[in-house]
Amino acid sequence: MQSVSGFRLTTTEVFAYPTICFVVILWCRYKWNRRHLDKLAAGLKGPPAYPIIGSALQFIGTPEEIMDNIIKLIKDYSPEPFKICMGPYFGVAIVKPEDVQIVLNSSRALQKDRFYNFVKNIFGEGLLTAPVDKWRKHRRLITPSFNSILLNEFFPVYNEKSKMLIRNLKSELNKTQPFDLWDYIAPITLNLICQNAMGYNLDSQSKSGSEFEKAMIKASELDSIRVSKPWLYPSIMFSLYLKLKGYSNVFNSLYKLPLKMIHKKREEFAQKKIGNESNYLDVTDNERKHSKVFLDTLFELNEAGANFSYDDIRDEVVTMMIGGSETNAITLCFCVLLLAIYPSIQDKVYDEIYDVLGDGDQTITIEDTSKLLYLDQVLKETLRLFPVIPLILRQLQGDVKIISNNIVLPKGSTCYLSPLATHRDSDSYPNPTSFDPENFSPENIAKRHKYSFIGFSGGPRGCIGSKYAMLSMKVLVATFLRNYSVHTDCKFNDIKLRLDLLLRSSNGYPVTIRTRDRRPVYIKLEYI
């Protein structure tokens, strides 16, 4: 017992009362600092939020269940802004195109949310995940690598790899048992980005490519599990989980191929630097200039004082490989599957390809792709329905005012931007869940807000490789349909989605193929 001026306290009480007072003071300070957030939250609808965990229960479950919950949230609350609390972190989901435009273009909304830290074991601090200051520097330096002249020089590789896809698919020709498109398209898109951006041909390194693909899918699954299980947020707990599950080497396997390419290119660069150009004696200056690839650019920038660390180069290479292969492969698989589900649309695409390219085997040029207007509509409609990145999270560095109800989004809050939700807004698309390439006819595009389609995000942090993606996908689809017709028993409503880091089909992309009869599907009459 302790006595203070006749007031008696136990030893426990001596420690307990100050502790309670300290906790109350911290709580009051916390609530005071959040008063603007709480005031905004009180005026917004949203899923139930509980103490400590917030609305996190909505994002716990299998990848399929998480995707179903996201779609349900969109149906229940969009298109108006609605609140989402992830643990103690307050966020607002933005759906309307005019609001999306404001957020994506605001200098106060360039910072990626803290949840992107969970994927840095894959991407490091490449363009996707880098803090704003680092992103500004790297983006400014890297952007010239995707200018129109260099994109045009990629076409020989586009055509070469497209023909490789056709040869590989011959083993599935005229079979009645469906095969999964992913098994054939994913290796080709990886091969494409490695040769075009890294100067590394995977044709003779198929084992390395296969190992990278498998590691990428498994790493994506593991990181998505981490996001949905708060007890795995601490790095030590996640590392322990990986060891217990036997996945300790997944991320090391993911880096093997990128590091091999960097090492090879570094040796080449060092040889040129010391004047050992024996391998280049018969090459003109013009040819050398045009043979430069993305990885060459990184080393040259570093030599010129850009101060890229080895980790910086590795992170940008991994980001480019995944962004240029995995995302394209998913979109291509969805696109070809949709064309199999809707044979009349497939026929219309083929007619356009026939009109532009004829029935020969000539290579496709950049001028040819500019004439494939309906194919462009089909690809964009695919991205509208199945955006590869269905969620974009930005942490606000200052207050941002949006148009809807003149809401001011407070500094420190998170903006949840969902291309999936924006693309399925009935105000922009009358039949939002139907596959209709006419949504992207010039007339319909003119009627809609510019940011009603954000398949490649938008604003300053939009996708750096959007033109590369569209050109490569056009060549691959056009070459595919020139040689094969594609069929499936799958219906649109049979497509079930799952979310790891990217949006995928749970049941793969099952199709069969037949030899294409190279003639127009519709006979056109010409009047003289």
Take residue 440 and report the two structure tokens written for it. Answer: 């992207």
Q: Does the pLDDT of residue 185 top 90, yes or no? A: yes
Q: Supply the pLDDT for residue 12.
A: 76
463 is an annotated ligand-binding site residue? yes
How does pLDDT run across 354-410, given as a tens digit for each residue?
Answer: 999 988 778 999 999 999 999 999 999 999 999 999 999 999 999 999 998 899 999
Positive or negative, the CA dihedral 484, 487, 493, 499 is: negative
Amino acid at residue number 75: K
Cβ-based burial of 177 (10 A; exposed 0-12, middle 13-18, buried ≥19): exposed
Greatest mean pLDDT range, 43-57, 129-143, 220-234: 129-143
Average pLDDT of the chain, as a whole number: 87
Rounded mean pLDDT, 501-523: 83
More confidently predicted of 37 and 415: 415
Q: Does the pLDDT of residue 447 top 70, yes or no? A: yes
Rounded mean pLDDT, 53-79: 87
More confidently predicted of 35 and 355: 355
What is the pLDDT confidence band of residue 80, given thresholds at 50, 70 and 90? very high
Packing angle, helices 182-198 and 294-301, rounded to 10: 40
Take residue 485 and report the two structure tokens written for it. Answer: 């017709």
The DSSP symbol for 385 reads H
Q: Does the pLDDT of residue 528 top 50, yes or no? A: no
Backbone angles phi, psi at 408, to 5 degrees: -105, 115
In the three-class reduction of DSSP (H, G, I as helix; E, B as strand; rest coil), residue 289 is classed as helix
In order of 55, 218, 230, 450, 476, the CA distances from 52 in angstroms are 9, 30, 11, 38, 49
82 sits in which H/E element: strand 82-86
Q: Supply the pLDDT for residue 309.
A: 87
What is the pLDDT confidence band of residue 265, given thresholds at 50, 70 and 90? confident
Q: Are 339 and 508 a contacting pair, CB within 8 Å?
A: no
What is the number of other CB atoms lying within 10 angstroms of the CB of residue 433?
A: 11
Q: Does the pLDDT of residue 335 top 80, yes or no? A: yes
What is the number of other CB atoms lying within 10 angstroms of the CB of residue 480?
A: 25
514 sits in which H/E element: strand 510-515
Rounded mean pLDDT, 463-476: 94
Share of the chain above pLDDT 70, in %: 91
What is the pLDDT confidence band of residue 254, given thresholds at 50, 70 and 90? very high
Helix spans in 229-290 (H): 235-245, 250-273, 285-290
User: Which residues are bridge partners to 3 per DSSP?
Assistant: 8
Distance between CA atoms of residues 234 and 182, nearest Å: 34
Distance between CA atoms of residues 450 and 461, nearest Å: 16
CA 508 to chain centre: 18
The DSSP symbol for 93 reads E
pTM, 2 dp:
0.89
What is the pLDDT confidence band of residue 287, given thresholds at 50, 70 and 90? very low
Packing angle, helices 182-198 and 155-169, rounded to 10: 160
